[in-house]
Amino acid sequence: MTDLEGAVVLVVGGTGGLGSRMSDRLSTAGATVVSASRGSSWDIRDEAMPQRLVAAIESEHGRLDGVVIAAGVVAFGPSSELSNETLTELFAVNTTGPIRLIREATPLLTASAGTDRKPFIVTLSGIVSEVPTAGMAAYSAAKAALAAFTVATSRELRRSGIRILDARPGHVETELSRHPIAGEAPKLGEGIDPDKVAERIVRAIIDDEKDLPSAAFGD
């Protein structure tokens, strides 16, 4: 069981629909939450951002015990209409930005494990990493790439005492699909309650779970 009391946890995308809800629940469980978002000048598309952010956390808190990556962007439409700019942003926010952040956070998380804590990383690759979806081909590819990275990296980091938890919920009722960077969302139907998704993920953190497939978010 992971004790969050006194833990310093970074939530990237901490002002978003899921990020804010997870931040609240982590705080309630006793964690010191560091919320980072584009609006607070922490843009995950910026290649230098992860190094600067982790250094700032170390300077202010002296430790880092958990990372939750809830930032994301989506685009809709056929792949034949996909622009280079959209493709670049999809991968920068959903794939390469998170990878850089995980890389930069690893030394502090390793140090946390050395103090008998149970450091963790949470990613949200979503159901599209399990079932790539037409009309969302590039988004599916970006999320699938992140999922593949977490599977392999979790094996590498296990010996350092760092746990990676990838969550793959289906369509969640947040603003993400309503504000795509390209195209228009199809009729997706009613999404999963974001409060339930946030609660399930935080419970998985505490219970030392290592994977949350889409089936874990069913009724």
pLDDT in tens, 174-205: 989 889 999 988 888 888 999 999 999 999 99
pLDDT at 40: 83
**Share above pLDDT 90 across residues of the chain, in percent, rounded to a whole number:** 92
Give mean pLDDT, residues 26-46: 94
Output the furthest CA–CA distance in the chain (Å, rounded): 51
Compute CA distances 99 → 49, 96, 122, 179, whole Å. 12, 5, 12, 24
**Closest Cα partner for 91 from 74, 106, 76, 68?**
74
Would residue 139 show up in a list of annotated catalytic residues for this protein?
Answer: yes
CA distance 66 to 186: 35
Question: Structure tokens of 83?
Answer: 């622009």
**pTM of the shown model:** 0.95
Question: Structure tokens of 213?
Answer: 């497939």
- Considering the candidates 139, 145, 146, 204, report the single residue annotated as catalytic: 139
pLDDT tens-place string over residues 112-159: 999 999 999 999 999 999 999 999 999 999 999 999 999 999 999 999
Give mean pLDDT, residues 74-103: 97
Dihedral of the alpha carbons of 130, 131, 134, 135, in degrees to the nearest 10: -50
- Please name each of the domains of the chain with its CATH number: 8-213 (3.40.50.720)
Is a pLDDT exceeding 60 seen at residue 219?
no
CA distance 9 to 49: 17
Compute CA distances 33 → 26, 42, 106, 191, 196, whole Å. 7, 15, 18, 27, 20
pLDDT tens-place string over residues 131-144: 999 999 999 999 99
Please give the DSSP secondary-structure letter assigned to residue 16.
S
